[in-house]
Amino acid sequence: MTPTNLAEDEGLQLDNQLCFKLYAASRAVIRAYKPMLDQLGLTYPQYLAMLVLWEWQRQPPALPTVKALGERLLLDSGTLTPLLKRLELQGLLQRKRSAHDEREVHLALTDTGLALREQVLPLKAQLLCERGVDLDAVAALRAQVGLLLDQFTALSH
């Protein structure tokens, strides 16, 4: 095998693929979160939506709409709508059509949705502690992955 072929071959090995490492790490993290999320009665995508809604509770955007949530989560409305319906059925949020534009759906947390946030903090701390997670390393990795995400999403716009 020539050096060029060897380099090409290594470039196609699964363990050398960043995309695979990100995919596998994401699945492992989501699996680790599952017991916590089961206690909260949430799926992982619902948890992400709640994180944004809790953020918005503290610093709301101009329009806390389904569209804005989809943009924040990088999800389309076809994925987001059923997820939000389930959260509404659980009594965690309310959806309300805009009076001036019925295509616009505003979101608001209920008292139950707000209270759920307080249950998350100790459960998440316990999860990280049990796994011996280095919070500084996670913060550095999150920043690097954020830059990578920005580079790839910039190409799609």
The domain spans of the chain are 42-130
Alpha-carbon distances of 71 from 77, 115, 154, rounded to whole Å:
9, 25, 13
Q: Cβ(93)–Cβ(109) under 8 Å?
A: yes
Percent of the chain past pLDDT 70, that is, above it, reads 94
pLDDT tier, 1 (very low <50, low <70, confident <90, very high otherwise): low
pLDDT at 6 over 80: no
pLDDT tens digits along 92-132: 999 999 888 888 899 999 999 999 999 998 998 888 888 88
Q: Between vectors from CA 52 to CA 46 and to CA 53, what angle results, nearest 5°?
A: 85
CATH number, domain 42-130 = 1.10.10.10
Q: What is the pLDDT of residue 76?
A: 92
Predicted TM-score of the model (pTM) = 0.87
State which amino acid sits at residue 79: T
CA–CA gap between residue 23 and residue 9 (Å, rounded): 21
Mean pLDDT along residues 30-46: 95
